[in-house]
Amino acid sequence: MIKAASPQQINFNRHYVGLNDGVRSRNFVYFRPRKKHLYVIAEVNDPDAWVQRVEEVGLSANTAGDASIRVNVAPADLRKQQCKETVTALLHAAVERHQA
């Protein structure tokens, strides 16, 4: 498991929840809640490969900019072990990229 080099902080308003490193004000992971699902937008290395990996487990995903991926996650998706592991790996990859 990857440990964050600096403490992570949550930054939020009524439209999204963001995760930043507590030093810079730049969010590298966003959570955008909707009524029936959640968008997870994360900055990762090789977002096209991540889109393919996420879609292989049955989640909907697309690239969002040069280095970001947007994944549509419903509560039922997180009950599936494979989907949960993939989303967790995506978040770890975003933290790893941010700390590089």
Q: What is the pLDDT of residues 45-95, one digit of tens each?
A: 999 999 999 999 999 999 988 899 999 999 999 999 999 999 999 999 998
- Is residue 2 over pLDDT 70? no
Query: Which CATH number fits the domain 9-99, given the four candidates 1.10.3210, 3.30.160, 1.20.1530, 3.90.1150?
Result: 3.90.1150
Instruction: List the strands of the sheet with 68-73, edge to edge.
Output: 9-12, 17-20, 29-33, 38-43, 68-73, 60-63
Rounded to whole angstroms, the Cα distance separating 90 from 19 reads: 14
What are the domain boundaries of the chain? Answer: 9-99
The 10s digit of each residue's pLDDT in 27-43 is: 788 899 999 999 999 99
Whole-number Cα distances in Å, 55 to 20, 37, 89 = 26, 16, 14
22: left (phi over 0), alpha (psi -120 to 50) or beta: left
